[in-house]
């Protein structure tokens, strides 16, 4: 499996299944010679401890760092095969906000 890491802000937390949470994460993309862009990524938390940490410690707007794995998925509907990728959270950490970093 492929690994990923992402730093961004929690846009919202969705309960998508009894044993899953989905986070909508916004992340600023800075590219040389181009304006700033915002990328949105949906990340799934399946691990019980990670889900508990998200619900107990994190809120919308918190700056976080996520590490996990990219999962390839294939779904067959009749004669048509759909391929997609999912971002599965392995670990999550809350980062200090800009005001917390500025406080001596």
The CATH code of the domain at 2-102 is 2.40.50.140
The helix or strand, by DSSP H or E, that contains position 53, with its residue range, turns out to be helix 48-57
Q: Model-level pTM? A: 0.80
By C-alpha distance, which of 32, 24, 27 is closest to 7?
27
How is the chain split into domains, by residue range? 2-102
pLDDT by residue (tens digit) across 47-73? 999 999 999 999 999 999 999 999 988
* Cα(64)–Cα(26) distance, integer angstroms: 10
Task: Give just the sign of the alpha carbon dihedral 93, 94, 98, 101.
Answer: negative
At 8, the pLDDT band (50, 70, 90 cuts) reads: very high
């Amino acid at each position: 499996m492929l690994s990923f890491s992402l730093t961004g802000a929690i846009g919202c937390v969705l309960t998508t299944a009894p044993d899953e949470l989905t986070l909508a994460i916004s992340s600023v993309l800075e590219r040389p010679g181009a304006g700033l862009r915002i990328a949105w990524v949906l990340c799934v938390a399946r691990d019980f401890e990670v889900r508990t940490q998200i619900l107990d410690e994190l809120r919308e707007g918190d700056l976080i760092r996520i590490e996990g794995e990219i999962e390839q998925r294939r779904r067959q509907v009749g004669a048509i095969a759909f391929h997609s990728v999912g971002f599965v959270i392995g670990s999550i950490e809350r980062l200090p906000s800009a005001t917390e970093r500025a406080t001596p």
